Amino acid sequence: MKILAVCGLGMGTSLILRMNIEEVLAAEGVSAEVEHSDASSANGEKCDYIVTTREIAGSLTNPQGEIIILDNFIDKDEIRKVLKENKIV
Amino acid sequence: MNIINENCIALLEEADTAEEGIVIAGEVLKSQGYIKQSYIDAMLKNFETSGPYFAIAPGFAMPHARPEDGVIKSGIGLITLKSPVSFGSANDPIRIIMTLATSSDDEHLQFMSKIAMLLGQKQMIEKLYECRTAEEAALLLNDNQEKEN
C-alpha cells in the first residue's frame, strides 16, 4: 500500500503530514509506504491513497489514488480517525 | 541545537489580513538576517497561487517558500496575533503564524521532524498562544525539544 501526503510545494506541510501518518501507522502496526509531494507531481503518481487538504484536493487533475481530506495535519487522533474511516488501520 | 532564536519571536502583533500576517511573520526572520525580502514575496505568491493549505491546524498557519527563494540561513519565525485573521481555511481564524525557512534538504528534514514532534504535543498551540514574552515562547519550543532528545 502506498500513501501520498500532498501539499502545495511538497516541502513543509506534506512532510509534517507524512511523518505523522507514519507515526500513526507504526502505532497501529500497519506497514505502508508513505511519501510526500507537491500537488503537480501528485498528478499521475501511482498510489493507493492521497491525503491532503480540501484546497489541494480540488486542484488535483489526475489523482491515481483515493483522496482523503484532512483539515488538521498535526492532530494524530484526527489522522487516526480518517485512516480508520478509510479502513487503512 | 535551538530550534528557534528568541529574537525571531514577536507576540500579539496586529494584522488585518492573512497577507499582513505573513509579512510580519516574515519580517522577524528578515530582520535577523535569515531571509531576503524575496522569500517574503515568494511566501505571499505561494499563498496566492496555492491557497491556505499551510494552515495545518486550528488557529495555526505555517507559511514557507523554497530554499532558492531567498533563504540565507535556516530558521523559524513565530508571531501571535492580537486579533485572529481569516486565511480562508477550515482552520480559521488563525492566531499563530510560524514562518519556516530552510536552506538545504538535510537541514530541512531535521527541522521538520523537530517541528512535527513539537506541534504534535498536546495543547502546544494553546500553550504558545498563552506565552506573554518571547523568552517564554522560545523556552517552550527549545526546552521541549531537548527533553524529547
The angle subtended at Cα B14 by Cα B10 and Cα B17, nearest 5°, is 115
- Residue B6's DSSP bridge partners are none
Q: Could you please report the per-residue DSSP string of chain A? A: -EEEEEESSSSSHHHHHHHHHHHHHHHHT---EEEEEEHHHHTT---SEEEE-HHHHHH-SS--SEEEE-S-SS-HHHHHHHHHHTT--
ipTM of the complex: 0.86
pLDDT at B23: 98
Contact between B119 and A74 using a beta-carbon 8 Å cutoff? yes
pLDDT at B147: 53
A59: domain range? 2-85
pLDDT at B121: 87
Contact between B90 and A76 using a beta-carbon 8 Å cutoff? no
Mean pLDDT, each 10-residue run in order, chain B (149 residues): 92 98 98 98 96 94 95 96 97 97 84 87 92 96 67
Residues of B annotated as catalytic are 64
Number of domains in chain A: 1
How do residues A14-28 score in pLDDT, each as one tens digit?
999 999 999 999 999
Domain ranges of chain B: 6-148
How do residues B107-146 score in pLDDT, each as one tens digit?
888 888 888 888 888 899 999 999 999 999 999 999 876 5
Average pLDDT over chain B reads 93
- Of A15, A39, A55, nearest to B52 by CB-CB distance is A55
Average pLDDT over residues A60-77: 95
What size, in residues, is chain B?
Answer: 149
With beta carbons less than 8 A apart as the criterion, state whether B105 and B52 touch: no
Average pLDDT over residues A66-84: 96
Contact between A56 and B109 using a beta-carbon 8 Å cutoff? no
Cell numbers placing B148: 524529547
Q: Does A72 touch chain B (CB under 8 A)?
A: yes
The CATH code of the domain that includes A54 is 3.40.50.2300
Q: Could you please report the per-residue DSSP string of B100-135? A: EE-SSHHHHHHHHHHHHHHHTSTTHHHHHHH--SHH
- Which of the following CATH numbers is that of domain B6-148: 2.120.10.30, 3.30.420.40, 3.10.20.30, 3.40.930.10? 3.40.930.10
Q: Does A43 touch chain B (CB under 8 A)?
A: no
Residue of B nearest to A57 (CA): B53
